[in-house]
Copies of this chain bind each other. A is one copy, B any other.
Amino acid sequence: MRQKITLREVGLRDGLQIHPTFMPTAAKLAWIAAEAGSGISEIEVTSYVPPKLIPQFADAQPVTEGALRIAGLMVTALIPNLRGAQRGIELGVHKLNYVMSVSDTHNMKNVRRSSAESVTDFRDIVTLVRSQPGHAQPLVCGGLSTALGCSYEGRIAVSQVVKYAVQLIEAGAQELIVADTVGYADPAQVRAVFKAVLAEVGSVPVAAHFHDTRGLGLANVCAALDCGITRFDASLAGLGGCPFAPGASGNVVMEDLCFMLDSMGYDTGVDIDQLVAVRALVSAALPDMSLQGAIARAGLPQGYRVAAQRLPV
């Protein structure tokens, strides 16, 4: 039996948030529907931030409502604070991805709060969610950004990551995301950090979020797989590069990640050809977007379907 892996699309949030051109709501919904149709079961569709801050997410409401109509899709959204959580609850999103930085400096620059204060904010969010009727309670996920390095502080101590992981779980997180926000991680570090976190979090699932900024995204995924991680964020065509580094890779490329896992014998539940086809839709809607990805360029290996079926993990 193949090990199941959950792939989570974050391009609509992590990819679009830095893109200067507004992607029409209909195009976002077509993207979400097409990717869900290819077998991606969880999509972070937007971010509940003030439109003044990030105009790209001014359509958070219709995007959430549209995504919720897709049967079987886990619809998630990023929230920076309590107000975001309130909006998510009102809209009926399935999961709230709260994000705080393990790096105090990064957190301060991002949300003008210390990391400790962000944990307190998270407690308030959980309290708000728990005060709703059961059917109206979204899942609450705690994201630890800069967990594998920070552009201000450099490498982050493993103990620091573990500390905040434990605090978020004690506060009520039902899932964690450990994120290499700036693409600093290497596979040895990934093993060290994920092993340490997994040893402390009990049964709470941990997802990995890697950026391919320095080319190590898929190698880092393999290191996390070795630790037992089975949930991975990625973005179609690797969307999510830094706006100040043209051509720089962003998140791990979803199509390549999917190919790697499928080829290794894991069960992603995704049809790669259908997934690759979604690129055309994104590129038609945002022609100025630079799309990354090796599988889209090189194609699947000769005899691939048969070979992949021959080698279950």
Q: How near does chain B come to A291, taking the closest CB pair, in angstroms?
A: 12
Interface centre among A184, A192, A214, A306 (most CB of B within 10 A): A214
User: Quick check: B219 and A183 within 8 Å, CB to CB?
Assistant: no
- A303 partner residues in chain B, CB cutoff 8 A: 153-155
Interface residue from B152, B187, B214, B253 paired with A215 (Cβ < 8 Å): B253
Interface centre among A151, A213, A219, A265 (most CB of B within 10 A): A219
* A295 within 8 Å of B (CB atoms): yes
User: Quick check: A301 and B248 within 8 Å, CB to CB?
Assistant: no
* A83 within 8 Å of B (CB atoms): no
Q: How near does chain B come to A226, taking the closest CB pair, in angstroms?
A: 8
User: Quick check: B214 and A259 within 8 Å, CB to CB?
Assistant: yes
**A301 and B150 alpha carbons, distance in the complex (Å):** 8
**A263 and B256 alpha carbons, distance in the complex (Å):** 23
Nearest neighbor of A226 in chain B, beta-carbon distance: B226
User: Quick check: B264 and A188 within 8 Å, CB to CB?
Assistant: yes
* A280 within 8 Å of B (CB atoms): no
Nearest neighbor of A313 in chain B, beta-carbon distance: B188
* A216 within 8 Å of B (CB atoms): yes
Nearest neighbor of A249 in chain B, beta-carbon distance: B294
- A187 partner residues in chain B, CB cutoff 8 A: 222, 260, 264
Interface centre among A151, A213, A247, A301 (most CB of B within 10 A): A301
Q: In residues 152-191 of chain A, which contact B (Cβ within 8 Å)?
A: 152-155, 182-184, 186-189
Q: In residues 182-224 of chain A, which contact B (Cβ within 8 Å)?
A: 182-184, 186-189, 192, 212-216, 218-219, 221-223
User: Quick check: A214 and B264 within 8 Å, CB to CB?
Assistant: no
- A71 partner residues in chain B, CB cutoff 8 A: none
Q: Given A154-B306, A187-B222, A189-B311 in contact, is the A301-B214 Cβ separation under 8 Å? A: yes
* 24 A-B pairs (CB sep. < 8 Å): A149-B302, A154-B303, A154-B307, A155-B301, A155-B306, A155-B310, A182-B301, A184-B302, A188-B311, A189-B263, A189-B264, A189-B311, A212-B294, A214-B256, A214-B259, A215-B218, A215-B260, A216-B218, A219-B219, A219-B222, A247-B297, A248-B297, A248-B298, A249-B294
Q: Known contacts A187-B260, A188-B264; can you find 14 more A-B pairs with CB under 8 A? A: A151-B301, A154-B302, A154-B303, A154-B307, A186-B260, A186-B264, A189-B263, A192-B311, A214-B256, A215-B260, A215-B294, A219-B221, A245-B297, A248-B298
**A residues within 8 Å of B by Cβ?**
149-155, 182-184, 186-189, 192, 212-216, 218-219, 221-223, 245, 247-249, 253, 256, 259-260, 263-265, 293-295, 297-298, 301-304, 306-307, 310-311, 313
